[in-house]
Chain A
Amino acid sequence: MTDEEIINLFFERSEQAIDELARQHGGAVTRVVRNILGNEQDAEECVNDTYLGVWNAIPPHRPSPLRTFVCRIARNLATKKYHANTAEKRNSQYDLALDELAETLAAAGGVEQELEAQELRAAINGFLGTLSAADRFLFLRRYWYAESVKDVAKAAHSTAGSVAVRLFRIREKLRLYLEKEGLPV
Protein backbone atom coordinates (compact mmCIF):
# COMPACT_ATOMS: atom_id res chain seq x y z
CA MET A 1 0.00 0.00 0.00
CA THR A 2 1.34 3.43 -0.90
CA ASP A 3 1.70 6.32 1.54
CA GLU A 4 -1.06 8.15 -0.30
CA GLU A 5 -3.42 5.22 0.26
CA ILE A 6 -2.46 4.98 3.94
CA ILE A 7 -3.14 8.69 4.39
CA ASN A 8 -6.51 8.25 2.68
CA LEU A 9 -7.35 5.56 5.26
CA PHE A 10 -6.54 8.04 8.03
CA PHE A 11 -8.81 10.57 6.38
CA GLU A 12 -11.55 7.94 6.25
CA ARG A 13 -10.90 7.30 9.98
CA SER A 14 -10.36 3.62 9.23
CA GLU A 15 -8.43 1.76 11.91
CA GLN A 16 -6.77 -0.21 9.16
CA ALA A 17 -4.68 2.93 8.68
CA ILE A 18 -2.70 2.13 11.84
CA ASP A 19 -2.06 -1.46 10.69
CA GLU A 20 -0.87 -0.33 7.29
CA LEU A 21 1.25 2.43 8.81
CA ALA A 22 2.87 -0.09 11.13
CA ARG A 23 3.46 -2.46 8.22
CA GLN A 24 5.09 0.17 5.99
CA HIS A 25 6.95 2.32 8.49
CA GLY A 26 6.77 0.47 11.82
CA GLY A 27 10.30 -0.85 11.42
CA ALA A 28 11.79 2.62 10.99
CA VAL A 29 9.72 4.03 13.88
CA THR A 30 10.69 1.20 16.21
CA ARG A 31 14.38 1.57 15.35
CA VAL A 32 14.40 5.30 16.11
CA VAL A 33 12.55 4.82 19.38
CA ARG A 34 14.66 1.84 20.48
CA ASN A 35 17.88 3.67 19.64
CA ILE A 36 16.82 6.60 21.81
CA LEU A 37 15.27 4.75 24.74
CA GLY A 38 17.30 1.51 24.77
CA ASN A 39 14.49 -0.09 26.74
CA GLU A 40 12.04 -2.47 25.12
CA GLN A 41 9.06 -1.67 27.34
CA ASP A 42 9.44 2.10 27.01
CA ALA A 43 10.00 1.69 23.28
CA GLU A 44 6.80 -0.29 22.81
CA GLU A 45 4.78 2.32 24.70
CA CYS A 46 6.35 5.08 22.69
CA VAL A 47 5.62 3.37 19.36
CA ASN A 48 1.95 3.05 20.36
CA ASP A 49 1.89 6.71 21.42
CA THR A 50 3.38 7.60 18.05
CA TYR A 51 0.56 5.86 16.18
CA LEU A 52 -1.96 7.70 18.35
CA GLY A 53 -0.16 10.96 17.58
CA VAL A 54 -0.37 10.25 13.85
CA TRP A 55 -4.07 9.35 14.20
CA ASN A 56 -4.69 12.74 15.83
CA ALA A 57 -2.61 14.66 13.27
CA ILE A 58 -4.07 13.15 10.07
CA PRO A 59 -6.40 14.72 9.12
CA PRO A 60 -6.04 17.65 8.72
CA HIS A 61 -2.35 17.17 7.99
CA ARG A 62 -1.39 15.37 4.78
CA PRO A 63 2.33 14.80 5.32
CA SER A 64 4.83 14.02 2.63
CA PRO A 65 7.04 12.12 3.07
CA LEU A 66 4.98 10.14 5.56
CA ARG A 67 7.97 8.29 6.99
CA THR A 68 9.74 11.50 8.00
CA PHE A 69 6.56 12.80 9.60
CA VAL A 70 6.00 9.63 11.62
CA CYS A 71 9.65 9.32 12.63
CA ARG A 72 9.63 12.94 13.79
CA ILE A 73 6.63 12.33 16.05
CA ALA A 74 8.31 9.18 17.36
CA ARG A 75 11.58 10.99 17.98
CA ASN A 76 9.92 13.88 19.82
CA LEU A 77 8.02 11.48 22.09
CA ALA A 78 11.09 9.31 22.68
CA THR A 79 13.42 12.19 23.51
CA LYS A 80 10.83 13.61 25.90
CA LYS A 81 10.67 10.27 27.66
CA TYR A 82 14.43 9.90 27.54
CA HIS A 83 14.99 13.18 29.38
CA ALA A 84 12.24 12.31 31.88
CA ASN A 85 13.94 9.00 32.72
CA THR A 86 16.48 8.73 35.51
CA ALA A 87 20.16 8.61 34.61
CA GLU A 88 20.33 4.92 35.59
CA LYS A 89 17.63 4.09 33.12
CA ARG A 90 19.38 5.84 30.25
CA ASN A 91 21.50 3.31 28.45
CA SER A 92 20.95 3.76 24.78
CA GLN A 93 22.64 4.72 21.53
CA TYR A 94 21.13 8.16 21.96
CA ASP A 95 22.90 8.48 25.31
CA LEU A 96 26.22 7.82 23.59
CA ALA A 97 25.36 10.14 20.71
CA LEU A 98 24.49 12.96 23.14
CA ASP A 99 27.72 12.30 25.03
CA GLU A 100 29.70 12.79 21.83
CA LEU A 101 27.98 16.06 21.01
CA ALA A 102 28.00 17.35 24.59
CA GLU A 103 31.72 16.64 24.86
CA THR A 104 32.55 18.54 21.68
CA LEU A 105 30.21 21.43 22.33
CA ALA A 106 31.38 21.85 25.89
CA ALA A 107 35.03 21.84 24.85
CA ALA A 108 35.01 25.45 23.78
CA GLY A 109 34.35 26.48 27.37
CA GLY A 110 31.46 28.78 26.55
CA VAL A 111 29.08 30.06 29.20
CA GLU A 112 26.20 27.63 29.66
CA GLN A 113 22.92 29.26 28.94
CA GLU A 114 19.64 28.45 27.36
CA LEU A 115 19.59 29.32 23.72
CA GLU A 116 16.61 30.67 21.90
CA ALA A 117 14.84 27.95 19.97
CA GLN A 118 14.76 30.09 16.88
CA GLU A 119 18.51 30.74 16.94
CA LEU A 120 19.25 27.06 17.38
CA ARG A 121 16.89 26.03 14.60
CA ALA A 122 18.52 28.44 12.19
CA ALA A 123 21.99 27.43 13.30
CA ILE A 124 21.64 23.66 12.99
CA ASN A 125 19.90 23.86 9.63
CA GLY A 126 22.40 26.43 8.38
CA PHE A 127 25.24 24.17 9.48
CA LEU A 128 23.77 21.10 7.79
CA GLY A 129 23.46 23.12 4.59
CA THR A 130 27.24 23.64 4.60
CA LEU A 131 27.99 19.90 4.75
CA SER A 132 28.37 17.57 1.80
CA ALA A 133 25.43 15.22 1.28
CA ALA A 134 27.57 12.31 2.46
CA ASP A 135 28.58 14.03 5.71
CA ARG A 136 25.04 15.18 6.33
CA PHE A 137 23.90 11.57 5.93
CA LEU A 138 26.38 10.44 8.62
CA PHE A 139 25.37 13.25 10.99
CA LEU A 140 21.64 12.59 10.64
CA ARG A 141 21.98 8.84 10.98
CA ARG A 142 24.09 9.13 14.14
CA TYR A 143 22.44 12.05 15.93
CA TRP A 144 18.87 12.22 14.65
CA TYR A 145 18.15 8.55 14.04
CA ALA A 146 20.50 7.73 16.96
CA GLU A 147 22.03 4.73 15.19
CA SER A 148 25.19 3.07 16.44
CA VAL A 149 28.40 3.97 14.60
CA LYS A 150 28.48 0.38 13.33
CA ASP A 151 24.98 0.67 11.84
CA VAL A 152 25.77 4.07 10.32
CA ALA A 153 28.86 2.54 8.71
CA LYS A 154 26.77 -0.28 7.29
CA ALA A 155 24.23 2.14 5.82
CA ALA A 156 27.03 4.25 4.33
CA HIS A 157 28.95 1.22 3.01
CA SER A 158 31.95 2.23 5.07
CA THR A 159 33.85 1.04 8.13
CA ALA A 160 33.08 1.96 11.74
CA GLY A 161 36.56 3.45 12.17
CA SER A 162 36.23 5.67 9.13
CA VAL A 163 32.75 6.83 10.17
CA ALA A 164 33.91 7.59 13.71
CA VAL A 165 36.73 9.79 12.37
CA ARG A 166 34.43 11.58 9.97
CA LEU A 167 31.85 12.16 12.72
CA PHE A 168 34.56 13.62 14.91
CA ARG A 169 35.47 16.09 12.14
CA ILE A 170 31.82 16.97 11.59
CA ARG A 171 31.35 17.68 15.33
CA GLU A 172 34.39 19.95 15.24
CA LYS A 173 32.91 21.77 12.25
CA LEU A 174 29.65 22.15 14.17
CA ARG A 175 31.45 23.64 17.17
CA LEU A 176 33.28 26.14 14.94
CA TYR A 177 30.07 26.99 13.09
CA LEU A 178 28.15 27.69 16.30
CA GLU A 179 31.00 29.79 17.65
CA LYS A 180 31.12 31.74 14.39
CA GLU A 181 27.38 32.32 14.64
CA GLY A 182 27.93 33.78 18.10
CA LEU A 183 26.12 31.00 19.92
CA PRO A 184 27.63 29.92 23.22
CA VAL A 185 28.50 26.23 23.09
Chain B
Amino acid sequence: MKRETITRMLNDIDDRFVSEAAFPDPASAREGPERIKHMKKKRIITLALAAALILALGAAAYAAGLGSAIAEIARELSHSVPDEEMRKERPEAAAYIDEWNSRMDEWAEMGENSDKTAQSAVLPDGTTITLTENFYDGDRLALSYVLSAEGPRIDYDFGPDHECFDLLTESNGLAWYQDLSETQYLEIMAKLKLRGKVGFVIRTVGVGDHVRLADGTDIGPFIGAELDGNTVLVPQNGLPEAAKGQDKLELSFVVKTYEAYIWLEGDQVYSYYPVADGVPVSFEIFNNTSK
Protein backbone atom coordinates (compact mmCIF):
# COMPACT_ATOMS: atom_id res chain seq x y z
CA MET B 1 0.00 0.00 0.00
CA LYS B 2 1.35 3.45 -0.87
CA ARG B 3 2.39 5.73 1.94
CA GLU B 4 -0.07 8.37 0.72
CA THR B 5 -2.85 5.78 0.85
CA ILE B 6 -1.91 4.88 4.41
CA THR B 7 -1.94 8.56 5.38
CA ARG B 8 -5.37 8.96 3.83
CA MET B 9 -6.61 5.91 5.71
CA LEU B 10 -5.28 7.30 9.00
CA ASN B 11 -6.76 10.74 8.29
CA ASP B 12 -10.18 9.08 8.01
CA ILE B 13 -10.16 7.68 11.53
CA ASP B 14 -13.31 8.73 13.38
CA ASP B 15 -13.30 11.56 15.90
CA ARG B 16 -14.50 9.23 18.64
CA PHE B 17 -11.32 7.13 18.39
CA VAL B 18 -9.08 10.19 18.11
CA SER B 19 -10.72 11.77 21.16
CA GLU B 20 -10.48 8.55 23.12
CA ALA B 21 -6.69 8.58 22.75
CA ALA B 22 -6.22 12.29 23.38
CA PHE B 23 -5.16 11.89 26.99
CA PRO B 24 -2.94 9.36 28.79
CA ASP B 25 -4.75 6.12 29.43
CA PRO B 26 -5.02 5.01 33.07
CA ALA B 27 -6.68 1.78 31.94
CA SER B 28 -3.40 0.73 30.37
CA ALA B 29 -1.58 1.10 33.67
CA ARG B 30 -2.38 -2.53 34.38
CA GLU B 31 -0.52 -5.49 33.02
CA GLY B 32 -0.90 -6.78 29.45
CA PRO B 33 -3.95 -7.27 27.23
CA GLU B 34 -5.39 -10.20 29.22
CA ARG B 35 -5.78 -8.09 32.33
CA ILE B 36 -7.04 -5.11 30.36
CA LYS B 37 -9.72 -7.29 28.83
CA HIS B 38 -11.42 -7.43 32.23
CA MET B 39 -11.26 -3.68 32.52
CA LYS B 40 -13.07 -2.74 29.35
CA LYS B 41 -15.97 -1.47 31.40
CA LYS B 42 -13.71 1.25 32.74
CA ARG B 43 -13.12 3.01 29.45
CA ILE B 44 -11.94 6.55 29.71
CA ILE B 45 -13.44 9.21 27.51
CA THR B 46 -12.96 12.92 27.72
CA LEU B 47 -15.44 15.61 28.46
CA ALA B 48 -13.73 18.39 26.62
CA LEU B 49 -15.73 21.35 27.82
CA ALA B 50 -14.88 20.83 31.45
CA ALA B 51 -11.57 19.10 30.92
CA ALA B 52 -12.99 16.40 33.11
CA LEU B 53 -12.78 12.64 33.00
CA ILE B 54 -15.79 10.37 32.91
CA LEU B 55 -15.22 6.76 33.79
CA ALA B 56 -18.07 4.78 32.32
CA LEU B 57 -18.93 1.60 34.13
CA GLY B 58 -21.56 -0.40 32.29
CA ALA B 59 -22.62 -3.53 34.05
CA ALA B 60 -21.75 -3.17 37.70
CA ALA B 61 -24.38 -4.15 40.18
CA TYR B 62 -25.02 -0.91 41.98
CA ALA B 63 -28.71 -0.21 42.53
CA ALA B 64 -29.73 3.34 43.29
CA GLY B 65 -31.03 3.86 46.81
CA LEU B 66 -29.37 0.81 48.32
CA GLY B 67 -26.18 2.52 49.45
CA SER B 68 -23.68 5.09 48.41
CA ALA B 69 -23.07 5.46 44.68
CA ILE B 70 -19.94 7.43 45.49
CA ALA B 71 -18.50 4.65 47.64
CA GLU B 72 -19.63 1.94 45.23
CA ILE B 73 -18.01 3.63 42.26
CA ALA B 74 -14.83 4.18 44.26
CA ARG B 75 -14.66 0.43 44.93
CA GLU B 76 -15.28 -0.36 41.26
CA LEU B 77 -12.59 2.02 40.09
CA SER B 78 -9.90 0.89 42.52
CA HIS B 79 -7.07 -1.11 40.96
CA SER B 80 -5.40 -4.18 42.41
CA VAL B 81 -2.47 -3.21 44.62
CA PRO B 82 0.72 -3.51 42.54
CA ASP B 83 2.83 -6.51 43.48
CA GLU B 84 6.58 -6.38 44.18
CA GLU B 85 7.48 -7.41 40.65
CA MET B 86 5.50 -4.54 39.19
CA ARG B 87 6.97 -2.09 41.69
CA LYS B 88 10.43 -3.16 40.61
CA GLU B 89 9.89 -3.32 36.85
CA ARG B 90 7.41 -0.50 36.35
CA PRO B 91 7.74 1.87 39.29
CA GLU B 92 5.97 4.73 37.49
CA ALA B 93 2.87 2.64 36.82
CA ALA B 94 2.89 1.31 40.40
CA ALA B 95 3.17 4.85 41.79
CA TYR B 96 0.30 5.96 39.56
CA ILE B 97 -1.91 3.10 40.78
CA ASP B 98 -1.04 3.82 44.43
CA GLU B 99 -1.98 7.47 43.95
CA TRP B 100 -5.22 6.54 42.18
CA ASN B 101 -6.19 4.01 44.88
CA SER B 102 -5.53 6.57 47.57
CA ARG B 103 -7.90 8.97 45.79
CA MET B 104 -10.51 6.21 45.54
CA ASP B 105 -10.16 5.48 49.29
CA GLU B 106 -10.97 9.13 49.88
CA TRP B 107 -14.03 8.88 47.60
CA ALA B 108 -15.22 5.80 49.50
CA GLU B 109 -14.84 7.60 52.81
CA MET B 110 -16.82 10.58 51.50
CA GLY B 111 -19.52 8.22 50.18
CA GLU B 112 -19.83 6.43 53.50
CA ASN B 113 -20.35 9.76 55.29
CA SER B 114 -22.50 11.45 52.67
CA ASP B 115 -25.97 12.93 53.06
CA LYS B 116 -28.28 10.59 51.16
CA THR B 117 -31.39 12.77 51.24
CA ALA B 118 -32.56 12.95 47.63
CA GLN B 119 -33.58 16.28 46.07
CA SER B 120 -35.35 16.34 42.70
CA ALA B 121 -36.25 18.92 40.10
CA VAL B 122 -38.75 18.18 37.33
CA LEU B 123 -38.50 20.20 34.12
CA PRO B 124 -41.51 21.11 31.93
CA ASP B 125 -40.64 18.39 29.40
CA GLY B 126 -40.70 15.72 32.12
CA THR B 127 -36.93 15.47 32.48
CA THR B 128 -36.01 14.89 36.11
CA ILE B 129 -32.68 15.53 37.75
CA THR B 130 -32.20 14.09 41.23
CA LEU B 131 -29.28 14.88 43.48
CA THR B 132 -29.16 11.51 45.18
CA GLU B 133 -26.24 12.04 47.49
CA ASN B 134 -23.81 14.73 48.57
CA PHE B 135 -20.78 15.11 50.78
CA TYR B 136 -19.38 18.50 51.79
CA ASP B 137 -17.15 19.12 54.78
CA GLY B 138 -16.07 22.68 54.01
CA ASP B 139 -13.01 21.49 52.15
CA ARG B 140 -14.07 18.53 50.03
CA LEU B 141 -17.12 17.86 47.87
CA ALA B 142 -18.60 14.78 46.23
CA LEU B 143 -21.94 14.70 44.42
CA SER B 144 -24.07 12.02 42.84
CA TYR B 145 -27.02 12.70 40.57
CA VAL B 146 -29.39 10.81 38.31
CA LEU B 147 -30.84 12.31 35.14
CA SER B 148 -34.07 10.75 33.90
CA ALA B 149 -34.74 11.91 30.36
CA GLU B 150 -35.92 10.61 27.04
CA GLY B 151 -33.04 9.02 25.08
CA PRO B 152 -31.72 10.59 21.88
CA ARG B 153 -34.74 11.57 19.77
CA ILE B 154 -34.65 11.81 16.01
CA ASP B 155 -36.90 14.21 14.13
CA TYR B 156 -37.00 14.02 10.37
CA ASP B 157 -38.21 17.59 9.91
CA PHE B 158 -34.92 18.96 8.63
CA GLY B 159 -34.27 19.80 5.00
CA PRO B 160 -33.29 22.54 2.54
CA ASP B 161 -36.23 24.73 3.62
CA HIS B 162 -35.07 24.84 7.23
CA GLU B 163 -33.43 28.05 8.50
CA CYS B 164 -30.39 26.09 9.77
CA PHE B 165 -29.72 24.42 6.42
CA ASP B 166 -27.32 27.15 5.25
CA LEU B 167 -25.29 26.72 8.43
CA LEU B 168 -24.32 23.13 7.64
CA THR B 169 -20.65 22.38 7.16
CA GLU B 170 -19.03 19.35 5.57
CA SER B 171 -18.16 16.92 8.34
CA ASN B 172 -17.03 13.71 6.73
CA GLY B 173 -15.63 11.35 9.35
CA LEU B 174 -17.95 12.77 11.99
CA ALA B 175 -19.31 10.05 14.29
CA TRP B 176 -22.81 11.55 14.32
CA TYR B 177 -24.34 8.15 15.11
CA GLN B 178 -22.40 7.33 18.25
CA ASP B 179 -25.20 8.04 20.74
CA LEU B 180 -27.97 6.41 18.71
CA SER B 181 -29.42 2.96 19.14
CA GLU B 182 -28.87 0.42 16.39
CA THR B 183 -32.56 0.67 15.45
CA GLN B 184 -32.34 4.45 15.06
CA TYR B 185 -29.16 4.15 12.98
CA LEU B 186 -30.66 1.49 10.71
CA GLU B 187 -33.81 3.57 10.23
CA ILE B 188 -31.72 6.53 9.04
CA MET B 189 -29.66 4.33 6.74
CA ALA B 190 -32.82 2.84 5.24
CA LYS B 191 -34.14 6.33 4.44
CA LEU B 192 -30.78 7.30 2.96
CA LYS B 193 -30.75 4.21 0.78
CA LEU B 194 -34.28 4.89 -0.40
CA ARG B 195 -33.92 8.60 -1.18
CA GLY B 196 -30.17 9.12 -1.59
CA LYS B 197 -30.33 11.92 0.97
CA VAL B 198 -31.84 12.42 4.38
CA GLY B 199 -32.01 15.25 6.90
CA PHE B 200 -32.75 14.90 10.59
CA VAL B 201 -32.18 16.45 14.01
CA ILE B 202 -30.80 14.44 16.92
CA ARG B 203 -31.98 15.88 20.24
CA THR B 204 -30.31 14.67 23.42
CA VAL B 205 -30.90 15.86 26.97
CA GLY B 206 -27.84 16.09 29.19
CA VAL B 207 -26.36 17.98 32.10
CA GLY B 208 -23.99 20.83 31.22
CA ASP B 209 -20.35 20.47 32.18
CA HIS B 210 -20.35 23.23 34.74
CA VAL B 211 -21.65 23.28 38.30
CA ARG B 212 -21.67 26.77 39.77
CA LEU B 213 -22.24 28.41 43.12
CA ALA B 214 -24.95 31.06 43.54
CA ASP B 215 -22.35 33.79 42.85
CA GLY B 216 -21.42 32.14 39.55
CA THR B 217 -18.16 30.55 40.71
CA ASP B 218 -17.45 27.42 38.67
CA ILE B 219 -16.49 24.60 41.02
CA GLY B 220 -15.18 22.24 38.28
CA PRO B 221 -13.45 20.72 36.50
CA PHE B 222 -14.47 17.37 37.89
CA ILE B 223 -13.36 13.82 37.85
CA GLY B 224 -16.61 12.06 37.12
CA ALA B 225 -17.81 8.51 37.05
CA GLU B 226 -21.01 6.98 35.81
CA LEU B 227 -22.56 3.80 37.09
CA ASP B 228 -26.02 2.52 36.22
CA GLY B 229 -27.39 5.99 35.66
CA ASN B 230 -25.69 7.58 38.67
CA THR B 231 -23.14 10.24 37.84
CA VAL B 232 -20.63 11.03 40.53
CA LEU B 233 -18.67 14.29 40.44
CA VAL B 234 -15.65 15.16 42.55
CA PRO B 235 -13.65 18.37 41.86
CA GLN B 236 -10.41 17.42 40.13
CA ASN B 237 -8.25 20.05 41.80
CA GLY B 238 -10.10 20.65 45.05
CA LEU B 239 -12.67 23.34 45.73
CA PRO B 240 -12.22 27.01 44.83
CA GLU B 241 -11.83 29.37 47.81
CA ALA B 242 -15.41 30.66 47.45
CA ALA B 243 -16.73 27.17 48.16
CA LYS B 244 -14.56 26.45 51.18
CA GLY B 245 -15.59 26.65 54.83
CA GLN B 246 -19.29 27.38 54.16
CA ASP B 247 -22.21 26.08 56.20
CA LYS B 248 -24.11 25.37 53.02
CA LEU B 249 -23.67 25.63 49.27
CA GLU B 250 -26.23 26.42 46.60
CA LEU B 251 -25.21 24.42 43.56
CA SER B 252 -26.53 25.20 40.13
CA PHE B 253 -26.61 22.58 37.37
CA VAL B 254 -27.79 23.29 33.82
CA VAL B 255 -29.92 20.72 32.03
CA LYS B 256 -29.44 21.17 28.30
CA THR B 257 -31.05 19.90 25.14
CA TYR B 258 -28.28 19.33 22.65
CA GLU B 259 -29.26 19.44 18.98
CA ALA B 260 -27.36 18.08 16.02
CA TYR B 261 -28.62 18.96 12.55
CA ILE B 262 -27.43 16.31 10.15
CA TRP B 263 -27.77 16.09 6.38
CA LEU B 264 -26.57 12.93 4.65
CA GLU B 265 -26.28 12.94 0.88
CA GLY B 266 -24.67 9.90 -0.72
CA ASP B 267 -21.31 9.49 1.04
CA GLN B 268 -21.23 13.05 2.30
CA VAL B 269 -22.05 14.16 5.84
CA TYR B 270 -22.99 17.74 6.68
CA SER B 271 -23.72 18.94 10.19
CA TYR B 272 -24.57 21.92 12.33
CA TYR B 273 -24.45 22.06 16.11
CA PRO B 274 -26.17 25.14 17.58
CA VAL B 275 -25.49 26.34 21.10
CA ALA B 276 -27.56 24.20 23.43
CA ASP B 277 -30.41 25.74 25.42
CA GLY B 278 -30.17 25.20 29.15
CA VAL B 279 -32.50 25.24 32.14
CA PRO B 280 -30.72 26.03 35.42
CA VAL B 281 -31.55 23.81 38.38
CA SER B 282 -30.37 24.58 41.93
CA PHE B 283 -29.84 22.34 44.93
CA GLU B 284 -28.85 23.35 48.44
CA ILE B 285 -26.42 21.15 50.32
CA PHE B 286 -25.13 21.47 53.86
CA ASN B 287 -21.76 21.09 55.50
CA ASN B 288 -21.83 17.54 56.85
CA THR B 289 -19.57 18.47 59.74
CA SER B 290 -21.74 21.36 60.97
CA LYS B 291 -24.86 19.26 61.57
> Could you list which residues of chain A lie within 8 angstroms of chain B, going by C-beta atoms?
2-4, 28, 57, 60-69, 71-72, 75-76, 79, 82-83, 98, 101-102, 105-106, 110, 112, 114-115, 117-118, 120-121, 123-125, 128, 132-138, 140-141, 143-145, 154-159, 162, 166, 184-185
Task: Check A102 against B3 for contact (C-beta < 8 Å).
Answer: yes
Q: Which residue of A lies closest to B44 (CB)?
A: A133
21 pairs of residues in contact across A and B, judged by CB atoms under 8 Å: A2-B50, A57-B169, A65-B49, A68-B15, A68-B18, A72-B18, A75-B11, A83-B3, A83-B7, A112-B1, A115-B1, A120-B5, A121-B173, A128-B17, A133-B36, A136-B21, A140-B13, A144-B17, A145-B21, A157-B93, A158-B28
Binds A, one of B112-120, B189-197, B270-278: B270-278
A4→B18 CA distance, assembly (Å): 20
Q: Is B214 an interface residue when CB atoms closer than 8 A count as contact?
A: no
* Chain B residues whose C-beta falls within 8 Å of the C-beta of A66 in the assembled complex: 48
* Chain B residues whose C-beta falls within 8 Å of the C-beta of A134 in the assembled complex: 25, 27-28, 33, 36, 39
With contacts A72-B18, A157-B92, A158-B90 known, is A120 near B9, CB below 8 A?
yes
Task: Check B36 against A132 for contact (C-beta < 8 Å).
Answer: yes
Task: Check B28 against A137 for contact (C-beta < 8 Å).
Answer: yes
Task: Check A28 against B7 for contact (C-beta < 8 Å).
Answer: no
Task: Check B18 against A125 for contact (C-beta < 8 Å).
Answer: no
Contact with A along B41-59 (1 / 0, CB 8 A): 0011010111100000000
Task: Check A64 against B8 for contact (C-beta < 8 Å).
Answer: no
For A128, give its contact among B13, B32, B51 (CB under 8 Å): B13
Q: Is B187 an interface residue when CB atoms closer than 8 A count as contact?
A: no
Q: Which residue of B lies closest to A116 (CB)?
A: B267
Interface size on B, residues (CB 8 A): 58
Distance to closest chain A CB from B137 (angstroms) = 27
A82→B274 CA distance, assembly (Å): 35
Task: Check B19 against A62 for contact (C-beta < 8 Å).
Answer: no
* Chain A residues whose C-beta falls within 8 Å of the C-beta of B21 in the assembled complex: 136-137, 140-141, 144-145
Task: Check A136 against B11 for contact (C-beta < 8 Å).
Answer: no
Task: Check B3 against A68 for contact (C-beta < 8 Å).
Answer: no
Contact with A along B37-81 (1 / 0, CB 8 A): 101100110101111000000000000000000000000000000
* Chain B residues whose C-beta falls within 8 Å of the C-beta of A102 in the assembled complex: 1, 3, 6
* Chain A residues whose C-beta falls within 8 Å of the C-beta of B11 in the assembled complex: 75-76, 79
Task: Check B12 against A156 for contact (C-beta < 8 Å).
Answer: no
For B25, give its contact among A106, A120, A155, A162 (CB under 8 Å): A155
A3→B209 CA distance, assembly (Å): 11
